[in-house]
Amino acid sequence: MTVLVTGGAGYIGSHTVRSLGESGREVVVLDSLETGHSEALLGADLVVGEIADFDLVTKLCRERNVRSIVHFAAYKSVGESMSHPLRYFSNNVGGSTALIDAAVAAGVEQFVFSSSAAVYGSPARVPVTEDLLPRPESVYAETKWMVERVLSWIGETRGLRSVCLRYFNAAGASFDSAIGEDWSVTTNLVPIVMKATLGKRPPLEVFGSDYPTRDGTGERDYIHVVDLAEGHVKALDYLDVGKPSLTCNLGTGKGSTVLEVLSATERISGCGVPHVFSARRAGDPAVVFADPSLAERELGWRARYGIEEILQTAWTWHSTHVDGY
């Protein structure tokens, strides 16, 4: 039995491919390499192609005896999703429905979906529990919520069991620095902090210093990418024993503010982080962190690492890979 990982050459995908291999599973990756890197696969089996290619996916699933799919392949920039909404609906929703269609046709039984805490929008309360009604505030978040809904209906009508994992703020790199994030394709805080510290971009803009938080800056639940990867292995273990579809958060349950990220980075790197304060970014909530107890209860998963390991591994990775892979 093989696990098909779409988008396995991307950031979270490549860490998951590695964890799946370490768990003893046979893996094949389907990636267009539009933003992914074949080097990130560390030798795992790669098919270059599109998730929307029905014939390719059905053939691959049948030939390789694929029982489970872990689906990462998607566009992920919130800002770009607002300027190019149809590109996001087409790729993230259209691509996913084509993939699910092919999966069902080829007899795939289990599906793990890379969703996002972005589906909650500005949460009405923290910690965020899964029973909060999603209220997406971007096209990107809407596409994640739409695919969750598609999976729920396909579960009901076709019996495809799924786990939707709503990630909080993924960050960090592998502990041996073999793989990490490509900072040319991200707008997230941690890689931007590293880039500014290494003098590879202008100073970081701290968006807002008047939030109702302990130091006035935004607070988020940063989760180590290796922990996230292990969450996918646990989700497959859960489905493998026949359990029903599930949607759950993957977060640590603890928040860090932007200024806490900066001061820890300064300590770890021994360098100052060039930064300036600017206005709040539109749509940014003050505080978001997860209640991760459902994942612990149902999947037997909990985050092992915190902000120190995240920033330490991110620093080691970026400072040794300033030109990426």
In the complex, the residues that contact ligand UD1 under the rule CB under 6 A are: 78, 116-118, 140, 168-169, 187-189, 192, 204-207, 218, 220, 258, 281, 284
Q: Is residue 120 among the annotated active site residues?
A: no
Query: Shortest Cβ distance from residue 163 to ligand UD1 (Å)?
Result: 17
Tokens of 188: 């997230």
The residue of the chain with the least Cβ separation from ligand UD1 equals 218
The least CB distance from residue 202 to ligand UD1, in Å, is 10
- Compute the least distance from the CB of residue 44 to ligand UD1, in Å: 25
Choose the catalytic residue: 140, 211, 238, 305.
Answer: 140
* Pick 53 or 80: Cβ nearer ligand UD1: 80
Backbone angles phi, psi at 128, to 5 degrees: -80, 125
Q: Shortest Cβ distance from residue 286 to ligand UD1 (Å)?
A: 8
For ligand UD1, the closer of residues 2 and 116 by Cβ is 116
The pairs formed by 28-35 with CB atoms below 8 angstroms and a separation of 24 or more are 28/2, 28/3, 28/4, 28/60, 28/64, 28/66, 29/4, 29/5, 30/4, 30/5, 30/6, 30/56, 30/57, 30/60, 30/73, 31/6, 31/7, 31/73, 32/73, 33/9, 35/10, 35/182, 35/185
Nearer to ligand UD1, 23 or 129 (CB): 129
Q: Which is nearer to ligand UD1, 53 or 284 (CB)?
A: 284
- Provide φ and ψ at 259, rounded to 5°: -65, -30
Report H helices in 250-306.
258-269, 293-299
- Active site amino acids: 140
